[in-house]
Amino acid sequence: MKKIIPFWLRNWYLTKIKRPPCIMCDRIGELELEDGTYICGICAQIQGELADD
Ligand SMILES: [Zn+2]
């Protein structure tokens, strides 16, 4: 018997389990910070803009 993983479940796994959510806004984490937490691209950009000051 073949085991079929539904696409939505696989997609959910890849986005939610493999990539932890952004610690700031709960979107998919894209960038790992030095302390092991993840932030999304949007928050990374915001942080980058703040860091420029
Ligand atoms: Zn975010």
Ligand 1: centre distance to CA 1 (Å): 41
Centroid of chain to Cα 39? 6
In terms of DSSP H, where are the helices of the chain? 7-12, 41-51
pLDDT score for 17: 72
Reported as a pLDDT band with limits 50, 70 and 90, residue 48 is: confident
3-44 pLDDT per residue, tens: 888 988 888 877 777 778 899 999 988 888 899 899 999 999
Ligand 1: centre distance to CA 44 (Å): 7
CB 21 within 8 A of CB 38: yes
pLDDT score for 51: 81
Ligand 1: centre distance to CA 29 (Å): 7
Ligand 1: centre distance to CA 16 (Å): 14
Ligand 1: centre distance to CA 21 (Å): 8
| 11 phi/psi in degrees, rounded to 5 | -65, -40
pLDDT score for 41: 93
